[in-house]
Structure 1
Amino acid sequence: MQLDLLVTAERILTLEADADGQPRVATRMGLMGDRIVGFDADLDGLEARRTEEFPGRTIVPGFIDAHCHTTWWGLGLNGAPVGEARGLDEFYEVLRAEVAKLGDDEDAWVYGIGFSESHHGGLVPDLATVDEITGTRPMYIRNASGHSALANTATLRRIGAFEPGFQDPEGGVVVRDASGAFTGLVEETAQELLQSLILPYPIEQIVAALDAATLKYAEQGITSFTEAGIGGGWIGHSPVEMAAYQAAREQGKLHARAQLMPAMDAVVPLTGNDRDFAGSGSAAGLSLGIRTGFGDEQLSLGPVKVFTDGSLLGGTAAVTESFCGHDHNVGYLLSSPEELREQIRCVYRAGWAIAAHAIGDAAIDLALDVIEECQNEYGTIHAASGERIPSRIEHFGITRQDQVERAGRLGVAVAPQYGFIHTFGELMVSRVGEGRRDLLYRGRSLRDAGVIVAGSSDSPVVDNNVRRAMQAAVDRRGSDGSVIGSREGLSREEALRLYTEWAAEATGQLSNRGTLAVGKLADFVVLDSSPLEAEDLGALEVLATFVGGAATFDARTS
């Protein structure tokens, strides 16, 4: 037998246990095709067509970002760089530069992603100043959270906000100030009014966005990701968004393995023999009865994404205690509990796992209730391979201990974003108050309760630098240096497993990825040193990224 590829390094952290139950560390790894066939002594006497040598370096399993927004980020890479501005004066200068770049085309959109009030002392831009800069051009600036956006007066006119009888849509607000004047801020589902002027994006534009974004993923060591919402609502970009992913794959422009979550808005009622669906009641999903687990190792369908509440920083997450400084603001659910319950039950019955966006503890209560109902009535969801695909709660932002323990009992996976802690942790504390500091984006207590925890970025809400997020999971330090959740820190090995083994389990893909083992996909990352020994995980360098044994990034040739 001849190997297709022999990879050598100072250490290969497989994250698999050896015969003695200890973590297996190798120095050689053999590949045939896109799979691993052996390590060290397994390979003695075998020749290889090709060799990759990384002396003094450490190899780990490929990183998995279990919740991100790839198309959204990719589209924004060529937009106005509003996320780089610090202070409103800089923001206005970015807008002026973008308007100048657009030239004389009065219909061209002023578009950008990454605006955050935290970069501007908690302020939003003055609408009159924005109007002076942008004129009659439409403007759509997406907040880093994804739960709000900035528009100018020209755009507000296009959505009919100034028409008599205009009403906010359910679950969203076109914000007015105390005098009743529009501020330019558009929250939650009201963003669909803006997007209706732009959507759908053409497939070729989405393909270009996926190409740009996944090349950047490779630089971060990301070999797999879960796209958290396609095809509908304010989170999707086209009703045929999955076709864009297929086209990107066919054209060699999808540089990481993708699991796609259809947005709840994209599902339709299903009909068929009643015995085709679990239990009783209505069913909903994608046409032809396609369900969670459809696809292959490169491109597959995951759970259906459903929004239950809003954002923590925006004060729209549904919580049981008021936000700090707002005696009567407990956020809100984006639909009634009855409507959310019926939506979730319909898709679960049709064979879809659920990924419920739930940040506040009130929303998490509802999500846990409905998931438990569905599991009890309809059973668990499995992929075609037979591997269990758990239902998930995305973010799990502010949680009580009873919720943590319940999630463990139910076998629910959660996808928190520890990168939030480093980026705007102190701002989150200011929203919920010091008394709830230790309830934010928990770590240690989740693992102790047996919860499946998946590492994720929610990019472009924060960057997709996995190493910095791993460090945040360990030290839990906010940008002001304070610790958020003093008892919630993970070990370095656990932080590595967040973005490898545990993320693979949460996405129902552990049989193929997440650790380096014989028979698994040869997805791996070369680091300059070991994450188990690094003082600062964020300082680790990605030297190369391989998907199925093929390099998607190689600093040696960059």
Structure 2
Amino acid sequence: MKLDLLLRNADIITMDDRRPHATSLGIWQGRIVGLDDELDGLDAAEVLDFDGATVTPGFIDAHCHTTWFGLGLGEVDVSGARGLDQLYAMLEADMATIGATGEEKTSDQHTKWLMATGFSQTQHGGEFPDIAVLDRITGERPLFMRHNSGHMTVVNSAALRLAGAESPSFQNPDGGVIVRDAAGRPTGLVQETAQELVQQLILPYSIADIEAALDRATRRYASEGITSFTEAGVGGGWIGHSPAELAAYLRAANGGRLHARAQVMPVLDVLHALDGHGLDSPGAVPKGLDLGISTGFGNDYLSLGPTKVFLDGSLLGETAAVSHEFCSHGQKDNAGNIGYFQADPARLRERIEAAYAAGWSIAAHAIGDRAIDLAIDVIADCQATYGPRTVPNRIEHASITRPDQLARLATAGIAVTPQASFFRKGGDGMTTSLGPDRLPWAYRAASFLEAGVTLAGSSDRPVADGNVLRGMQAFVDRRTDSGAVFGNPDERLTARQALDIYTNGAAAATGTMDIKGSLTPGKLADFTVLSGSPLDAPDIGALEVLATAVGGRFTYQATGAQSFNTLH
């Protein structure tokens, strides 16, 4: 037998307790064949000397928004603005190149809009843009500026007129709000499901545009050591970009433009009745995709994950469904705010049960503890009725988790994806919003592991920083911009635990533990090469990604590491 690739002289952290460390690794047909002495007597088509560089299992981001991120790389990025005057200047600069009506551009529907990304009021002293100023800058050209949480958008009057939502008499949709001032005039802020009113004027993006976005986004992923990711919502709702979004993924994968393995979550909104689907439970109405396609369909490179359902909103936007009101930064007009569900809980339960009956695992977006209660109740009931799922059911974010909910999550086998990437930029604001009594419940980590809950590393990119190394460091130190430790200091992870959740933990949460998560013979040869070990680095985020490989093929090599020492 002749190997395809043999790595030598490497500091290999396998994340497999049966053999935690090695110096050599052999690869054949995209899989790991063996380590160290298991390779004795085997030759290889290519042998590389890594000169002591650290090799870890490939990083897995279990919750991100890749199409959104890739599209945003081609839009006006306002994330660097500090103060509204800087933000206005960025929009004015774009208008100067295009014109107030967009007539200088082509007739494509997206180019008529001023599309901006990366806005957060936390970067502007808690202030939102003045719609009167936005109107002066943009004229009749409609503006769509996504909040970095994804749960709200800033628009101008032109966009509201096109959506028919400018009038004070306009009724808010279920689960969303057109925010208005005391006189009933829109402020330009559009929350939750109300975003769809504007988005439907922009969507769908073409398959070609989405494919290009995936190419841009996953090239970035590869440069950061990411070999697999889960796209948390495609196909519809306010998070999707096209009803044919999966086709764009397939084209990108077949055309070599998808540079990491993808698990894709269709949003619950795109599932429809499967009239001919037989059920064990009489009277149930299953919901799915045609031909009965459901969670798990696909291959090692591109597959369908759980269906994504939004139960509540966001923490930064104070629309998450919590049991005690937000402190609201002392604002009297927000007294009594405990957030809200995105639809009537009974209706949400009915829709989730229909999807589960048709074979789908569930990924429930639940930020607040009230939403987490609903998610646990519904998922546990579905599992009891229809059985467990090979791909685990999940709660996305699980941001405010009460102590009593930990054991319930573990018993139900529900995985969670809290993001440490929120701590640095958003931690101080969330601390004020939550208050001291609930702060220990926020973005747990160590207590999830202690309770036996599957914890998956993820970023929620582009809502937050998607760099995995910085995410690991955030789980270790939990530092905010002010230097404070966010939440309960006892929730901090060790460096090994932080690496484990982005490898084994994320693999377990995505139902791929048998082929990913550790450098174990028989598993996929997905690995990341680093300038040092994350287990003992003073600052994990300062490490450099030297190379990334998927199935033994390099998807990224840093300048200067373009060719490791080739022995033959």
TM over 0.5: yes
Deviation at 1:56, TM superposition (A): 2.2
Residues 319 and 361 in structure 1, CA contact (< 8 A), matched pair in contact too: yes
- 1:352 alignment partner, SS class: coil
Q: Please name the residue that 1:504 is paired with.
A: 507
Q: Please name the residue that 2:287 is paired with.
A: 284
Cα distance change on mapping 1:62 and 1:273 into 2, 3 Å: closer
Q: Please name the residue that 1:315 is paired with.
A: 318
d(CA) in 1 for partners of 2:96, 2:31: 50
Q: Please name the residue that 1:8 is paired with.
A: 8
1:96-111 → structure 2 map (5 Å cutoff): 96-103=92-99, 105-106=102-103, 108-111=112-115
Residues 277 and 292 in structure 2, CA contact (< 8 A), matched pair in contact too: no
Residues 279 and 378 in structure 1, CA contact (< 8 A), matched pair in contact too: no
Letter in structure 2 aligned against 1:105 = G
Instruction: Determine what percentage of the aligned residue pairs are the same residue.
Output: 54
Q: Please name the residue that 1:385 is paired with.
A: none
Match of 1:38 among 31, 34, 37: 34
Corresponding pairs, count: 547
Q: Please name the residue that 1:82 is paired with.
A: 78
Moved more, 293-302 or 46-55: 46-55
Q: Please name the residue that 1:166 is paired with.
A: 170
Cα distance change on mapping 1:300 and 1:480 into 2, 3 Å: same
1:435-454 → structure 2 map (5 Å cutoff): 435-454=437-456
Note the residue ranges of structure 2 that are not aligned, 5 or more in a row: 104-110, 329-333, 564-568
Match of 1:395 among 389, 394, 397: 397
1:62 aligns with 2:58: yes
Cα distance change on mapping 1:81 and 1:441 into 2, 3 Å: same
Match of 1:427 among 422, 429, 434: 429
- 1:92 alignment partner, SS class: helix
Q: Please name the residue that 2:345 is paired with.
A: 337
Letter in structure 1 aligned against 2:130 = D
Letter in structure 1 aligned against 2:129 = P
Structure 1 residues 474-513: Cα deviation after superposition (integer angstroms, max 9, x where no partner) = 1111111111211101111000011100000000001011
Letter in structure 2 aligned against 1:238 = S
d(CA) in 2 for partners of 1:165, 1:476: 45
d(CA) in 2 for partners of 1:241, 1:274: 28
d(CA) in 1 for partners of 2:98, 2:470: 35
- 1:404 alignment partner, SS class: helix
Deviation at 1:164, TM superposition (A): 7.3
Query: TM-score normalized by structure 2?
Result: 0.94
- 2:233 alignment partner, SS class: strand
Query: TM-score normalized by structure 1?
Result: 0.96
d(CA) in 2 for partners of 1:229, 1:273: 24
Q: Please name the residue that 2:365 is paired with.
A: 357
Cα distance change on mapping 1:436 and 1:105 into 2, 3 Å: same
Structure 1 residues 413-456: Cα deviation after superposition (integer angstroms, max 9, x where no partner) = 00110111122111111111122221110011100000000011
Note the residue ranges of structure 1 that are not aligned, 5 or more in a row: 382-387
1:116-135 → structure 2 map (5 Å cutoff): 116-135=120-139
Match of 2:539 among 516, 536, 547: 536
Match of 2:302 among 288, 295, 299: 299
Q: Please name the residue that 2:268 is paired with.
A: 264
Cα distance change on mapping 1:507 and 1:279 into 2, 3 Å: farther
Cα distance change on mapping 1:63 and 1:279 into 2, 3 Å: farther
Letter in structure 1 aligned against 2:551 = G
Structure 1 residues 141-182: Cα deviation after superposition (integer angstroms, max 9, x where no partner) = 000000000101111110012357421111101110122111
d(CA) in 2 for partners of 1:280, 1:389: 26
Match of 2:216 among 212, 216, 224: 212
Deviation at 1:278, TM superposition (A): 6.1
Residues 62 and 458 in structure 2, CA contact (< 8 A), matched pair in contact too: yes
d(CA) in 2 for partners of 1:408, 1:536: 31
Q: Please name the residue that 2:566 is paired with.
A: none
1:226 aligns with 2:230: yes
d(CA) in 2 for partners of 1:205, 1:162: 30
d(CA) in 2 for partners of 1:374, 1:280: 15
d(CA) in 1 for partners of 2:508, 2:264: 16
Residues 277 and 358 in structure 2, CA contact (< 8 A), matched pair in contact too: no
d(CA) in 1 for partners of 2:112, 2:128: 23
d(CA) in 1 for partners of 2:47, 2:75: 41
Moved more, 6-15 or 84-93: 6-15
Superposed CA RMSD: 1.3
Cα distance change on mapping 1:539 and 1:432 into 2, 3 Å: same
d(CA) in 1 for partners of 2:350, 2:185: 37
1:410 aligns with 2:412: yes
Moved more, 349-358 or 92-101: 92-101
Cα distance change on mapping 1:9 and 1:130 into 2, 3 Å: farther
d(CA) in 1 for partners of 2:48, 2:265: 35
Q: Please name the residue that 2:25 is paired with.
A: 29
Residues 28 and 40 in structure 1, CA contact (< 8 A), matched pair in contact too: yes
Structure 1 residues 456-483: Cα deviation after superposition (integer angstroms, max 9, x where no partner) = 1000001211011111111111111111
d(CA) in 1 for partners of 2:282, 2:507: 29
1:140 aligns with 2:133: no
Residues 415 and 454 in structure 2, CA contact (< 8 A), matched pair in contact too: yes
Residues 102 and 108 in structure 1, CA contact (< 8 A), matched pair in contact too: no
Residues 279 and 349 in structure 1, CA contact (< 8 A), matched pair in contact too: no
Deviation at 1:540, TM superposition (A): 1.2
d(CA) in 1 for partners of 2:143, 2:322: 32
Residues 70 and 214 in structure 2, CA contact (< 8 A), matched pair in contact too: yes
Letter in structure 1 aligned against 2:201 = L
Residues 221 and 542 in structure 1, CA contact (< 8 A), matched pair in contact too: yes
Deviation at 1:45, TM superposition (A): 1.7
1:114 aligns with 2:122: no
Q: Please name the residue that 1:367 is paired with.
A: 375
Structure 1 residues 242-301: Cα deviation after superposition (integer angstroms, max 9, x where no partner) = 1010011111100000000000111001122534x6675110011110011000000000
- 1:175 alignment partner, SS class: strand
1:196 aligns with 2:200: yes
d(CA) in 2 for partners of 1:294, 1:246: 13
Letter in structure 2 aligned against 1:40 = D
Residues 157 and 166 in structure 2, CA contact (< 8 A), matched pair in contact too: no
d(CA) in 1 for partners of 2:114, 2:409: 43
d(CA) in 2 for partners of 1:520, 1:151: 47
Moved more, 504-513 or 157-166: 157-166
- 2:538 alignment partner, SS class: coil
1:379 aligns with 2:381: no
d(CA) in 1 for partners of 2:500, 2:302: 22
Structure 1 residues 30-88: Cα deviation after superposition (integer angstroms, max 9, x where no partner) = 00111110111111121111122211210000000000000001001010011111110
d(CA) in 2 for partners of 1:9, 1:480: 41
Q: Please name the residue that 1:248 is paired with.
A: 252
Deviation at 1:237, TM superposition (A): 0.4
d(CA) in 2 for partners of 1:399, 1:9: 44
- 2:50 alignment partner, SS class: strand
Structure 1 residues 203-226: Cα deviation after superposition (integer angstroms, max 9, x where no partner) = 000000000000000011000000
Deviant stretches of 4+, over 4 Å: 277-280
Letter in structure 1 aligned against 2:5 = L
Deviation at 1:9, TM superposition (A): 3.8
